[in-house]
Amino acid sequence: MSQAIKIEDRSGVSIVHVEGALTPIEDDTLVSTVRRLLGKDRAQVILDLKDVTFMNSNGIGDLVRITAQANSQGGRVVMANASPFVSGVFSTTKLDQFFEVCGDIETALDRLS
């Protein structure tokens, strides 16, 4: 299972489009990408999870690490467009109470402005 990441800049907010499975074991591409963005003057990141087909505990851990790092640096990470699978994981694990989750990118952009 592989993962593809594309970055889009909109109004000073980095939108990270994630496609595929979030099952990292040794591949920390998503974490390193978001850390790099947070290290720049981009303290606001939206993770577009529309095309995430599967996520295991390692993927959940990565999302928690990303969010915790942003919070500790005064930044924000908002999850958007969660696929039905990801929405189910967030709901089952109660992580939808920890993460900022929006139904779409436009709502996430409004929340960050």
The answer to whether residue 11 scores a pLDDT higher than 80 is yes
**Model pLDDT, residue 42:** 56
* 39 within 8 A of 9, measured Cβ to Cβ: no
Q: Considering the chain, what percentage of its residues have pLDDT values greater than 70?
A: 94
* pTM greater than 0.85 (yes/no): yes
Compute the CA torsion angle 90, 92, 97, 99 (nearest 10 deg): -20
Query: What is the tally of helices (H) and strands (E) in the chain?
Result: 4, 5
pLDDT in tens, 22-43: 987 666 789 999 999 988 765 8
- pLDDT more than 90, % of the chain: 74
Domain boundaries, the chain: 3-112
Q: Which CATH class is domain 3-112?
A: alpha beta
Listed in sequence order, the residues at least 6 apart from 58 whose beta carbon sits closer than 8 Å to its beta carbon are: 22, 23, 24, 25
Label residue 84 by pLDDT band (50, 70, 90). very high
Per-residue pLDDT band at 73 (split at 50, 70, 90):
confident
User: Cα 52 vs. chain centroid, distance in angstroms?
Assistant: 10
Q: Give backbone dihedrals phi and psi of 51, rounded to 5 degrees, phi first.
A: -105, 20
